[in-house]
Amino acid sequence: MQFKIPEPNEPVHPEYARLLDEIDRLAENLDRRFRIPLTNVRFGWDPIIGFVPIAGDLVTAMLAIKIILAARRLGADKALIRRMAANSATDIAIGLVPIIGTIFDIFYRANVRNVETLKDEIRRRRNPAA
């Protein structure tokens, strides 16, 4: 089902809310699931899965694409999709570099960044006066 971002004061379809929550949880698990003890540094499954050469990077790329496709279903415009794709492409490209890519994954958090960008756009369009 293809949605559009609900207008101000328009009720949100339950499937819309469910899909947005699903990609939010996926992004959190990929980018901020765990915390390094005694620090505020958080990381998720993305850098862990990325340790597996090639296959790990393919899996995390597919999950990033899943988030982008869901954003499109939720009514994100082409400009937002391009920005999200650029975030993910940066993450994927640098993530291919051993060790440096893993460190980059921990701090760049492309998946959370993409979902937050989508949620900001939804808030902006639902509350244009703010």
pLDDT tens-place string over residues 2-23: 999 998 889 999 999 999 999 9
Secondary structure letter of residue 33 according to DSSP: S
Kindly state whether residue 47 falls inside one of the protein's structural domains: yes
Question: Within 10 A of 16 (CB to CB), how many other CB atoms are there?
Answer: 19
Secondary structure letter of residue 35 according to DSSP: E
Mean pLDDT computed over every residue of the chain = 94
Question: In total, how many domains does the chain have?
Answer: 1
Question: What's the rounded Cα separation, in Å, for the pair 84 and 86?
Answer: 5
Kindly state whether residue 1 falls inside one of the protein's structural domains: no
Note down the domain range covering 52.
14-126
Kindly state whether residue 57 falls inside one of the protein's structural domains: yes
Kindly state whether residue 52 falls inside one of the protein's structural domains: yes
Question: Within 10 A of 21 (CB to CB), how many other CB atoms are there?
Answer: 10
Kindly state whether residue 7 falls inside one of the protein's structural domains: no
pLDDT of residue 13: 95
Model pTM? 0.92
pLDDT of residue 126: 87
pLDDT of residue 130: 61
Which of helix, strand or coil describes residue 18? helix
Kindly state whether residue 8 falls inside one of the protein's structural domains: no
Chain segment 88-123, per-residue pLDDT in tens = 999 999 988 888 999 999 999 999 999 999 999 999
